[in-house]
Structure 1
Amino acid sequence: MKKIVLSLVVIASVLTACKGEKKEKAVETKEEVKVETKVADLNNVDTAISVLNWKGTKPTGAHNGTVALKSGGLLVENGELQGGEFIVDLATITNVDMAGSEGAGKLEGHLKSADFFDVEKYPTSKFVITNVEDKGDNIHVTGNLTLKDVTKSITIPATISTEGGVTTFESEKFMVNRADFNIKYGSKSFFDDLKDKFIDDNMELSFVVKTKA
């Protein structure tokens, strides 16, 4: 009987460990890096089809959506990414999973409010590429991410390709800890009495940026 109990304890421990491993970690944030190459003046990003995708989660579910780019530039030489700058228009935050419903409108309004991104005060976000490292199947792109009044350096995996005169920069999905950028609403990093009413600090993001033809 003792052997059976011991076996069940071992199995439960293994399953618990495996379950814990599935939770994705946020990318590491470091101090802002100085940028020498300025590409904003290129203004060659097609803002009509470029997008920042987002997803937020909480104990009762998840919501996802998009944010449009206001402007941007990609510097590519001989097929290799040399630099880039994306200005994200936070006034265009859109919820996709409840699109067309009253709930979508309420969520969009809440995300734009001072509780989250405070769009009236900080109308844009920015990602400025500071370094690109070739990893074979993909590239590791380091850049300064600005949200609200905080700028941190992060590194994300991505791909770069050109077809028909259009260059596409596409990042893999990556996690950013919103607490690092002082986005406090429903965050257990700032509040202790939330119980199951919290919203996860880690938010999932991904870029799809295309240049003009």
Structure 2
Amino acid sequence: MKKILLLGIGVLLFVSCKKEEKIEPTTVETGISGMFITDSTSTLNWTGSKQTGKHSGTIKIKTGGFTVENGKITDGKFTIDMNSISVDDLEGDDKINLEEHLKGTKPDVVDHFFNVVKYPEATFIVTGFMNENGSDMLEGDLTIKDKTNKVKFAVSLTEADGFVTMSSPEFKIDRTQWGVNYGSKSIFSDLGDKFINDDIALQINMKAKK
């Protein structure tokens, strides 16, 4: 069984974010090589927060694949199914209402967040793989609502029986960089304490096969 473990601990931000956080060292045990196609169970975990609490859930990675050469990710592209946005910390009508709000599937909330009717998919295209301060980082272009920004985050890969699992520690993005402005006090000055934080925390849980 080949195994490569690239551990990145700590919260990483988009290049456009205002703060830089410490990146802990990673270790590489041995190499992985090959082309891998994502499994239908792959997800992107998300957490959004506001002053009074937070909500979390998943989004499905619809399709994708990536290439690894001697433990380095050399290319890859992934399509994210925005219609699959799920809220996992609520039940019943509360769950349904928040999911519809995030997706924009009610007439009065169409473009509050992700407007999945007009923008049913998001994409991530790998543009680089490097080591920074001892951590192995995956860099790429993330497109949401037809807006593209570069992102960078730590990844870990493990391989067993022909499968590779790609995961990341939690990292944050500033949603307003993609025009997701609803409830943002950096966009609207009259919200008082009824704002939603600009940062969304993400965490990758992807399984792929040769």
For Structure 1 versus Structure 2, the TM-score category normalised by the shorter chain is 0.7 to 0.9
Q: Does residue 1:85 correspond to 2:72, yes or no?
A: no
Q: Which has the higher helix share?
A: 1
Deviation, 1:26, is 3.6
Contact 2:13 2:152 in 1 (8 A): no
The aligned residue for residue 68 of structure 1 is 60
Tell me the percent identity. 36
Higher RCO, 1 or 2 (CA under 8 Å, sep at least 6)?
A: 2
| Cα deviations by residue, 1:84-105 (Å, 9 ceiling, x for unpaired) | 111100000000011x321011
Q: String of CA shifts for 1:156-203, please: whole Å, max 9, x gaps.
A: 111122111101111221110011111111011211111111000001
Distance (whole Å) between structure 2 residues aligned to residue 185 and residue 89 of structure 1: 21
Matches within 5 A, 1:1-213: 26-29=13-16, 44-47=37-40, 49-98=41-90, 100-113=91-104, 114-134=111-131, 138-212=135-209
Question: Is the radius of gyration larger for structure 1 or structure 2?
Answer: 1
Q: What is the distance in 1 between the residues matched to 2:158 and 2:194? A: 42
TM-score of the pair, normalised by structure 2: 0.79
> Structure 2 counterpart of 1:74, which letter?
F
Give ranges in structure 2 of 5+ residues lacking alignment.
1-10, 18-34, 105-110
CA distance, structure 2, for counterparts of residue 187 and residue 25 of structure 1:
21
Is the contact between residue 79 and residue 161 of structure 1 (CA under 8 Å) also seen in structure 2?
no
Aligned-partner SS, 1:87: strand
The list of structure 1 runs, each at least 4 consecutive aligned residues, that deviate by more than 6 angstroms after superposition, is none
| Residues 47, 56 of structure 2: 8 Å contact kept | yes
Q: Which runs of 5+ in 1 are unaligned?
A: 1-23, 31-41
